[in-house]
Structure 1
């Protein structure tokens, strides 16, 4: 399965130049999108490759361990494949399939796009239906990181009460931290934030995307300490070629 996906994605990547040429005329006459995010966040997007360039992308792919995550950046259809299980969203339904019984130890509705959001930071913070609010700086090891809270309008997504806070380097404007709440199960706002530090980044076709992230917790004095939960992302790809809608459908056994 991995080899098939890799070959498919390489074909997409190779076709990007031709696809881009076909779209030049259409892009020239299209109406420009009016951005509504804060100027400082615009600088963060620019530091990571630019929101306009990001919106021209069609497919995002990355590996998390044995999981291959593939997402249509516009429809947000997703497939996650492993040798033992697969899951995804076909634009209407969330589905899952186990090759090895009992191997999928996660709720597909919660998990299918979880790591897409972590990986596609900070660009997903420019989605429609977002409300921005400046918050107090995060202070870590003597450095102040300015931040913006991101909340969602009612009925946006499966968990509209989720909140994110992105903290960025005040000089380079590169994202450094993400605070987030989880309301999927409670279906109600919560005040407790989980913390992720974006340890390292890599250049993927001009976009600065995460290579490794680490979860942090607070000790009894409120000091942030790293946990042993570390995730490495490998084999990244962003393409301007599209995949057929059928690619995101549940496979037939």
Structure 2
């Protein structure tokens, strides 16, 4: 009888241990599955197809050839996409002290999704999920600027020239200019109607004729919510400061922005904004649903 009780007890213990181990394995399996779901799952064949398409389209025009040369000099479009999610801190500092915008952000360069968090409080976040802009913050003082507009704005500084590879982008080769003692190839970028939130925006890129790196760019802001009756802000010119190479991609470590004044030396008017770019990195993983609106967030109309 005692032996039977012992055997039953032993069986119960072994069954409990087996169940516990099975639960551990299921938990581990669940963790792996969740991790796998968060990986940068862009097949190499998709990247190759997109890069080949961009190469064929761009190299069919003189302006496109200049832009493609800049992409190659900055590390190559294939590496840009294959590197995965891009993260960086972008500290935009108007010299008048108004409208400072400082956030750490992660961008899905493949599909233009973004998530930012405040430098002062990582729980204050905003983003763009590809369809909707959202924000989750303790109060209105967390981000005292238009986060919907700003969600993808920094990548159009730090992501040049790669951000101009898509369809709906129009390129025009303008006459060469000398800028700060270096000859520049000049490419104007415009958009088809309906492309992006501000299709009337334009960029005029100064691409160094010797290095093929982007030395500067002019641009306007025509965001309809700022200009509901049409029009745009005065043209600005942003000048690349030092560069750094991260995972084979050349980035600016900062920019200086001036009012564009063609009559002034190098076309530089008043110096108005200092931008620092730091903590640049790529990763092949983010948490699952990282760019989606989190619980408690507000959708921005």
Q: 1:220 to 1:91 in 2, by over 3 A?
A: closer
Q: Retained in 2: the 8 A contact 1:179–1:194?
A: yes
Query: Which sections of structure 1, spanning at least 5 residues, go unmatched?
Result: 1-14
Q: Is the Cα contact below 8 Å between 1:90 and 1:245 reproduced in 2?
A: no
Q: Are the aligned partners of 2:47 and 2:81 in contact in 1 as well (CA < 8 Å)?
A: no
**212, 221, 224: which is aligned to 2:254?**
212
Pick closer, same or farther for the CA change 1:230–1:121 going to 2, 3 Å: same
State the shift of 1:192 in Å: 3.9
Residue in 2 that maps onto 1:243? 286
Where structure 2 has 5 or more consecutive residues not aligned to the other structure, the ranges are: 1-35, 59-63, 92-101, 297-301
**Number of residue equivalences:** 234
| TM-superposed deviation, 1:196 | 0.0
Question: What is the alpha-carbon distance in structure 2 between the residues aligned to residue 128 and residue 159 of structure 1?
Answer: 15
> 1:6-34 CA deviation, whole Å, 9 max, x = no partner?
xxxxxxxxx9xx989x956x569968632
Q: Which residue, 165, 169, 187 being the options, matches 2:204? A: 165
Provide the TM-score with structure 1 as the length reference. 0.81
Shift of 1:238: 2.0
Match of 1:43, SS state, is: helix
C-alpha distance in 2, partners of 1:48/1:29?
18
- Aligned-residue RMSD, C-alpha: 2.9
For residues 80-229 of structure 1, what are the structure 2 equivalents within 5 Å? Answer: 80-82=116-118, 83-84=120-121, 85-184=124-223, 185-186=226-227, 188=230, 190=232, 192-218=234-260, 221-223=263-265, 224-225=268-269, 227-229=271-273
| Whole-angstrom CA distance in 2 between matches of 1:139 and 1:109 | 36
